[in-house]
Structure 1
Amino acid sequence: MQRFKKIVKHNKKKLIAALIICLAYYFCLPKVLFTAPTSTVITSKNNLLLGAKIADDGQWRFPENKVIPDKFKACILAFEDEYFYKHPGFNPISIIKAFKENYNSGQIKRGGSTITQQVIRLSRQGKQRTYWEKFKEIILATRLELRYNKEDILALYSSHAPFGGNVVGIDAASWRYFNRNAKDLSWSESATLAVLPNAPSLIYPGKNQQSLLAKRNRLLKKLLDQKTIDSLTYQLSIAENLPIKPYPLPQIAPHLLQHISKKHKGQLIKTSINKHLQEQTNNIVFNHYNLLKQNEIYNIAVLVLDVKTRKVLTYVGNSPTDNKHQNFVNIIDKPRSTGSILKPFLYTAMLDAGDILPSTLIPDVPTQFGDYEPQNFNKEFDGAVSAKQALSRSLNVPAVRMLNQFGLDRFHHYLKKLKLRDIKYNANHYGLSLVLGGAESNLWDLCKNYAAMSSTLNHYTQTSSEYFKNEFCEPTFIEDEIIDFGARSSEKTLFDAASIYHTYQSLKEVNRPEGEDNWEFFDSSKEIAWKTGTSYGFRDAWAIGTTRDYVVGVWVGNADGEGRPGLVGVQTAAPILFNVFDLLPKSNWFNQPFDEMTQINICNISGYRASLNCKNTSKTYVQKSGLKTSACPYHKLIHLDKNKLYRVNSTCETSQNITTTSWFILPPLMAHYYKKKHPFYKPLPPFKPGCFEQKKQQMEFIYPNNNNKIFLPKDFNQIKNEVVLKVTHSIPETTLYWYLNNKYIGKTKNLHHIAMKPKQGNYTITVTDEFGNEIKKNVDFSH
């Protein structure tokens, strides 16, 4: 110990100097060698290249890859550094040989650098090739050898070596020059790339082909001599042609690449995209785009989700249109008017809340709420239609009436729980048009929620009738990301499984587009729950469908919002939807969630829970909340004579001759339209002559209905035309008497329509029947 202290005392300066040198050596190498920007690269779930975005400095430089193809490794070691695995970072023999050759020639002809030294030189861009710089490289190379193993150093070289033009790294080079992955290159192709970094500014494909060919073949001969390849491989390799010019990089999912680059710029992202399915969907979109553009419809978006994993399988953000028609816009996450695509959510919510049953009759008659007057697409009315038919036929008037019954704020609350991020305003901002396209949403959010509903139903029937708390989660396009559906619970997440099942049963019956309309007669046909939507002004066409395993969403329109005639969901978006579903494996239909259902008696005519007055009933499985629905209001007991020809009461018939029976009775306005579509609907029999009938409401206005303001029509010559007023009566043959401001204007029988030419102003229209029943309507006639 004493001796050690004496040595330290007498050599303090030397030891300090040595320590400084050691520290300088230790810290001489930067923690990060390469800081140049890299390309954003996306691959499929099977590591197949989908697309790449050029780096900010204009170079095709893929992110570092630690996996080096064996053929390229053998070629680069044979060409650049045979003793790579033996030297400490520099090769003294190569340096001496290079020094002699350069000294004799009077200029620097040979570098003698190892691959490790070249990694250092590449990381120190812009340094001149002098002996002093060479000395620095040697020092840094030895330090690099201490930090990294040989494979990592070789990977750094492969990822950052120049390959001519603006191509950097083996991965970018293999795609630019041979249009495939580096691991799929032949010996000849690998040898071609191995010689390029040696003189990238002088030799690259398309320039100095003879020099490049000579270098490649010399390397292949060396590989033959080393017995790395056999003679047959050598002969086949030297016979291969050189690449003439760079290939464009694949752009199979350009809008997904654009989307990913916002959060993962400069990274290589392995996505969940199925490359084959993506390419097939691209072809479908391309073919439909060529048809639709003839009608000046230029933009299409398609999204395909895996229900079980919630992974994105296909992502087509736009059609292959031009810049003028905004081909750069990613439609999938852009807000667009929803049309009818939200109707299934309302239907499911009402089932879940116990407000309706699938078969419940919903009024389909002229309707007005204030200034808002919804219309069915075909401008017709059914009088009354079952809730499930209202959904499958996408009838607007029943949907608005259902929303009004359910409550606007209540439905808005459900939409917020669905995390539709483009529903930004309060319920009153949208009004009752919310369910018909008064709001905006995007393809991503809509498909996400259809997938969540399908997954809810799947999980419920696959587990012990349980739900998952995080069912309504965000899908992912990252392959390595696993969706956490949360803990199991006996409580529903949002909608119960039975309500979802009944919704899908209705959506399965939606009329398919031409060519798919007889699908149920073919064994190969897929059972799909699907819905279309068309926004006001024909600006947006939607089609979203789901099976147990997949959700497909399609949007068609113009990115600038221009509407076009014929831009209707079932005509433009639906054919694309079914073309994409044809690419997907067939799925079994959803299992019925019996544990979330109960069996009750249903009135076969009205679809309501059967009352005591309903004689024609059947047992049906409905959601448990269906027990809360009201009993049938349309079957009522009436008294008939013994021949059942007239209605009677005690004022005109003895009790012995009175027959009591149940009769299906709709309100007059509903009955007026209902009997047109249902010829077997029986109106109430007339009262027997001499019977006294209690006064009651038996008639309603058809026009004007809820509208209190009527614009007087004019023809092309500005001559005022007649206004036709219409009333319906439960007994059409009854005579009705019409009054305008208590002034008699006429009577009608059977067809209760009356024409008149009132002057501008406020009036009271009064209609009285021969039994003394009376209805009134205040109207404002204006020009």
Structure 2
Amino acid sequence: MKLSKPSWKKLSKKTGIAVLGFIVLFFILHLIFPLPDKIEYSTIITDDKGEVIHAFLTGNEQWRMKTELEEISPLLRKTIVQKEDKYFYRHFGINPIAVGRAFVMNVFTGRRTSGASTITMQVAKALEPKKRNIGNKLIEMFRALQLELKYSKDEILQLYLNLVPYGGNIEGVKSASILYFGKNPDHLSLAEITALSIIPNRPSSLVIGKHNDEIVKQRNKWLNRFAEEKVFTKKEIEDALAEPLTAKRGVVPKLAPHLAYKLKQSGGPIIKTNLQLNTQYKTEKLVQDYVRTLRLSKIRNAAVIIIDNETHKVITYVGSGDFSDTTDGGQVNGAAAVRQPGSTLKPLLYALCFDEGLLTPKKMMNDVPVNYAGYAPENYDKIFNGPVSVEYALEHSLNIPSVKALNMLGKDKMIQQLSSIGFKQIQAKQKGLGLSLILGGCGATLEQLTGMYSCFATEGSYYRPLYVQHDAVSKPQRILSADASYMVTDILSRINRPDFPLHWDATAHLPKIAWKTGTSYGRRDAWSIGYNKKYTVGVWVGNFSGEGNAELSGAHTATPLLFRIFNTLDYDADRAWFTPPKELEQRKICSETGLPPSAHCTNHVLDYFIPGISSTQTCNNFEEIAVSADEKMSYCKTCEPETGFKRKGYKLIAPEVQNWMQGNGLAVELIPPHNSNCEKIFASGAPQIKSPVNGTEYLISKKNPEPLQLVCETGNDVSRVYWYINNQFYKTTDPGSKQFFLPTEGNIKISCTDDKGRNRDIKIVVKYVDL
């Protein structure tokens, strides 16, 4: 029956209204029932080439690794689409022809012989699993339309590949590819892709490793079908049919576990690190083997970080000797643990002093006992060395000169620089830090220290170490001049040092490096951090329990591992070394003071200096003094006689150095005592009372009271000093001798007067307590 024109218009109008109503209804339902497309993926960690090196289960114990769009190779896309939904790129989520065919077949056969599910509908079902019936199929179609509205075809295919089940707790082609074939999905062959594609239809009865023969039979069936449809070339099909299937379920890689757990906290399904897998493997093996040799000495752990100085990427991260070792805390991350840094901060301190013009490498400092308001640091070996150069002090890691250098610089400047490059513990506790900061009296991590040392390899510019690929290279932060950085590197690259490890005989091919060691108080932490132009390597060795060990030291425990790593990392490398910056110059200096020479200086050496920054003060350790003919008395200009005297040159030696020399039996020529009949009033040069410390409160045990020590320093023209307690004479002694007295409780005034009448007073408070 033929419709009239009005009837056709009426039908078209009704159809249009119906379609419009359907669209309106769809969008209403779309708003009421949003797409449930929030998917929890397994967190995976990759190396710098995108290979999976670590992965974590989802919250419901599933392996569901996200396949990125670029990992869907043309071969994978072509195979899956051809097998599952060859019209995928032509329909809108629902294939009407397939739906009609399925309806007819299901009606006439009385059973479900065809589901007509498109790839999009399979994604909908995976997102919202339901029982298989007509009502739920309609819901799948609705969800499929929502998916097509929200995502591109490639993104829908990506969702399918991420959600498709492969039996057990394996979901997604990437999880299956990693667990069964040990590679990423974009590296799968045609045979492997086809084998995987048939498993989702029968995930419980087709298990790779158990039913490989049946899987091969089904795989070949599909390959032959592909051949009939000319999807692939004859050669591609022949190669795929001939490929054996020997795969079985493996394990997910668990490399770099400490970094993996650290980065997992940042979230995201895929975390792309900068780790170089080969270097990571080698270093993990070196650390594990090395720690095994230390166990006999009850030293049980180590951590290592390697930074590529050219890219600023962290290419190796080892947090412990063995992550699986539960007996010795193998899961503790030693690279991120806050420990005492020992002497590792000294290079930065001296470099800052170079930049402030306070020191140069050959400037002399006095390594003798000092006392800063009660703080009396000592050297590692309890020995004092007298006058030493800065470079000697750094090479030998002497404590006294470094404390003096920090006092000269000001601890606030040091704290400010460390805080600016990520030393969070120092920043948080800056108010409570004193001069002991430079000897390790603060907290630091191997991550922080290795990052700090890398700035010496980049001419004093600090770049934040990059752990993941999406991190942009930070703007360089200038913390040192290139001149200061080079001077420190020049000192730290010398091998004739006391901290060169004993019995180390593998230096023939060791690349040239600069390095510094450190040992924390109580021998709880051993550090060795080295660098060349290409790499910075940080090593920590110790026990996570904090247990000290008499055999633990940076030089002999950590440095051998550092050298082994450099031997492996940069073996026999003929790499260019650092060159002096153009602005850095050399000058002659007096070898006795490290200052530009005066007329009296006879021993000259060359020293680096920064023009316009380094001090230009000339050597001032020599003075001609008027003395009596027998050289037993000296005169000042006020009391200098007209005749009967002569002039003699004397080296000016600081009082504390005089005391050290005399205490060590060294000959020292002192300026004779001043003319006792001189009427000049000495307004300066009064004795310096070193003990007790002025303004200090002393607690003394009532049961076992211990006396306080009286110590002073005087000029070399003093032969006697007089001690007074609360204005009452106590004792007269030689300037260098040490006396003791037992004080009374309360406020006490202590006075010291020299034989020239110069006086110094201090006040202390004494309390007797039950200790």
TM range (shorter): 0.7 to 0.9
2: CA distance, partners of 1:114 / 1:427: 64
Please list the CA deviations of residues 178-220 of structure 1 after superposition, one character each: whole Å capped at 9, or x if unmatched. Answer: 2222233344433332221112233323445554343234345
Which segment is superposed worse, 737-746 or 408-417? 737-746
3-state DSSP of counterpart to 1:173: helix
* Contact 1:527 1:588 (C-alpha < 8 Å) held by counterparts: no
Three-state SS of the structure 1 residue aligned to 2:18 is helix
Alpha-carbon distance in structure 2 between the residues aligned to 1:211 and 1:619: 82
Compared CA separation, residues 444 and 606, structure 1 to 2 (3 A)? same
Distance 2:160 2:105 in 1: 26
Structure 2 equivalent of residue 514 of structure 1: 501
Matches within 5 A, 1:73-152: 73=77, 75-77=79-81, 79-81=83-85, 84=88, 107-108=111-112, 110-123=114-127, 125-137=128-140, 141=144, 151-152=154-155
Give 1:197-212 correspondences, 5 Å limit: 197-212=200-215
Are the equivalent residues in 1 in contact too, given 2:526–2:552 (CA < 8 A)? yes
90-99 vs 181-190, which moves further: 90-99
2:239 aligned with 1:233? yes
Percent same amino acid among aligned pairs?
28
Which residue identity is paired with 1:505?
Answer: D
Q: Give the structure 2 partner of residue 52 of structure 1.
A: 55
> Which of the residues 310, 313, 329 maps onto 1:311?
313
Q: CA deviation at 1:61?
A: 0.9
**Residue aligning to 2:292:** 290
Per-residue CA deviation, residues 641-690 of structure 1 (Å, 9 max, x unaligned), is 99x999988999999995755x544335424546999x9x86327879x9
User: Which residue pairs with 2:426 in the alignment?
Assistant: 423
CA contact (8 A) 2:374 2:693 kept: no
Q: Determine the structure 1 residue equivalent to 2:23.
A: 22
Q: How does 1:395-410 map to 2 (within 5 A)?
A: 395-410=398-413
Specify the alignment match of 2:576 in structure 1: 588
Cα separation, 2, equivalents of 1:196 and 1:526: 53
Supply the distance in 2 between the matched residues of 1:416 and 1:162 (Cα, whole angstroms). Answer: 50
Letter in 1 for 2:280: Q
Q: Is 2:381 the counterpart of 1:386?
A: no
Normalized against structure 2, the TM-score is what?
0.80
- Equivalent pairs counted in the alignment come to 740
RMSD across aligned C-alpha pairs, in angstroms? 4.9
Q: Does 1:493 align with 2:497?
A: no
Structure 2 alignment gaps of length 5 or more: none
Query: In the alignment, which residue of structure 2 is the partner of 1:269?
Result: 271
* Cα 1:280/1:308, change in 2 over 3 Å: same
Contact in 1 for aligned 2:35/2:147 (Cα 8 Å): no
1:546 to 493, 508, 531: 531
In the other structure, the counterpart of 2:603 is 616
Query: Once the 2 structures are TM-superposed, how far is the Cα of residue 376 of structure 1 from its aligned partner?
Result: 0.7
Residue aligning to 1:468: none
Whether 1:252 and 2:242 are equivalent positions in the alignment is: no
One-letter amino acid matched to 2:618: A
Shift in alpha-carbon separation, 1:356–1:781, aligned structure 2, 3 A: farther
2:462 matches 1:476: no
Equivalent AA in structure 2 for residue 156 of structure 1: L
Gaps of 5+ in 1: 458-470, 487-491
- Select 2:594's aligned residue among 607, 611, 627: 607
CA distance in 1 between partners of 2:222 and 2:257 (Å): 38
Distance change in 2, residues 1:667/1:774 (3 Å): farther
Q: Which of 156-165 and 626-635 deviates more? A: 626-635
How big is the shift at 1:294? 4.2
Deviation readout 1:63-116 (Å, 9 max, x if unpaired): 242232455445535544456566665567766776677668765465343434
**1:280 & 1:685 partners in 2: Cα distance?**
61
SS at match of 2:315: strand
Question: 2: distance between equivalents of 1:23 and 1:721?
Answer: 95
8 Å CA contact 1:539, 1:567 repeated in 2 = yes
Quickly say closer, same or farther: Cα 1:423–1:557, change in 2 above 3 A: same
Q: Which amino acid aligns with 2:582?
A: F
* Pair 572,273 (structure 1): closer, same or farther in 2 beyond 3 Å: same
Aligned to 1:338: 341
Q: In structure 1, what residue type is equivalent to 2:467?
A: F
- Bigger shift: residues 548-557 or 350-359: 548-557
- Matches of 1:43 and 1:282 in 2, distance apart? 17
Cα distance in structure 2, aligned partners of 1:344 and 1:174: 49
Q: Is the 8 A contact 1:669 1:702 kept in 2?
A: no
Within a 5 Å distance, the mapping from 1:169-248 to structure 2 comes to 169-222=172-225, 227=233, 229=235, 233-234=239-240, 236-238=242-244, 240-243=245-248, 246-248=249-251
What's the CA shift string for 1:722-748, capped at 9, x where partnerless?
99999999999x998999986779999
Contact 1:383 1:671 in 2 (8 A): no
Q: 1:369 to 1:721 in 2, by over 3 A?
A: closer
**Matched residues in 1 for 2:569 and 2:413: separation?**
37
The answer to whether the Cα contact below 8 Å between 1:447 and 1:544 also exists between their aligned partners in 2 is: yes
Q: Provide the C-alpha distance between the structure 1 equivalents of 2:252 and 2:45, rounded to a whole number of angstroms.
A: 12
Cα distance between partner residues in 2 of 1:639 and 1:746? 27
Q: Distance in 2 between matches of 1:747 and 1:258?
A: 65
Q: What pairs with 1:633-712 in structure 2 (closer than 5 Å)?
A: 633-637=620-624, 661=649, 663-671=650-658, 673=660, 683-684=668-669
Shift of 1:777: 11
TM-score, normalised with respect to structure 1: 0.79
Residue in structure 2 matched with residue 525 of structure 1 by the alignment: 510
Deviation at 1:128, TM superposition (A): 1.7
Tell me: CA distance 1:109–1:568, structure 2 relative to 1, closer, same or farther (3 Å): farther
Moved more, 314-323 or 142-151: 142-151
Q: Structure 2 CA distance, aligned partners of 1:557 and 1:423?
A: 22
Residue in 2 aligned with 1:461? none
The SS at the match of 1:183 is helix
Offset at residue 572 of structure 1 (A): 2.9
The answer (yes or no) to whether the contact 1:221–1:234 under 8 Å persists in 2 is no
Change (3 A) 1:730 1:745: closer
Deviation of 1:382 (Å): 0.2
Distance 1:58 1:601, change over 3 A: same
Q: Structure 1 371/105 Cα, relative in aligned 2: closer, same or farther at 3 Å?
A: farther
Between 1:704-713 and 1:26-35, the stretch displaced more is 704-713
Partner of 1:440: 443
